[in-house]
A and B are shown apart, each in its own frame.
Chain A
């Protein structure tokens, strides 16, 4: 079974600064996908960024980028130029790829990010 670990329950960053959220995972699969989701107080889960395991290049989406280390099974999220609207819970998630029925997501326990003035 896959597991996803987020070791930082809470993080704080000042506006305009950069913050990195950590995530590690455990799997015996070779094909899979990794995701970071944002959950603001509204409870709406929003996809921030995704990474296909077969791609060596780290994914980027505007101010969000990842550091994907496949051998170390590490998938950290970097938020640059933090904004107040980035305040939310951030969840790392894993999904197997190219399998029969397993497209469910396995989530970590989340990191609560607070952006301050």
Chain B
């Protein structure tokens, strides 16, 4: 079946602009995660959705970052007033449930802020 998909694959924007990154999880996966991978760094947790529960936003670096998940499926990560330090690869993952099930990752969106 189809894996996790993300769009766009690459995004170049100017400092101060808003951007939206999209994630389509695997069908039937109730948990969805966003991570950020800066150059030379590991993945940094941003936010996590599980079913109808309130999302865990503890990893969002500032109030310029927000995310929503509509209908328990597609998720959008929004970064307002982008800064150069926001440049990174943004990875989305989904899993069946919050147990010990594997997180399946999408190919990521590479964001470059000029």
Contact = CB atoms under 8 A, between A and B. Distances in A.
Interface of A: 4, 6, 33, 42-47, 50, 52, 91, 93, 97, 101-110
B40 interface: yes
A59 to B, nearest CB: 13
B31 A91 contact: no
Given A33-B100, A101-B56, A105-B103, A43 B108 contact: yes
A27 B43 CA distance: 18
B45 A106 contact: yes
A91 B48 contact: no
8 contacts: A33-B100, A43-B110, A45-B91, A47-B103, A101-B53, A105-B35, A105-B43, A109-B41
Given A44-B107, A103-B48, A109 B98 contact: no
Interface string B81-111: 0000000010101010010101101011010
Contacts of B110: 43
Given A45-B91, A47-B102, A107 B56 contact: no
A10 B3 CA distance: 30
The DSSP consensus for interface residues of chain A is loop
B42 A110 contact: yes
B89 to A, nearest CB: 6
Contacts of B108: 43
Interface in B30-45: 31, 33, 35, 40-45
Interface string B62-80: 0000000000000000000
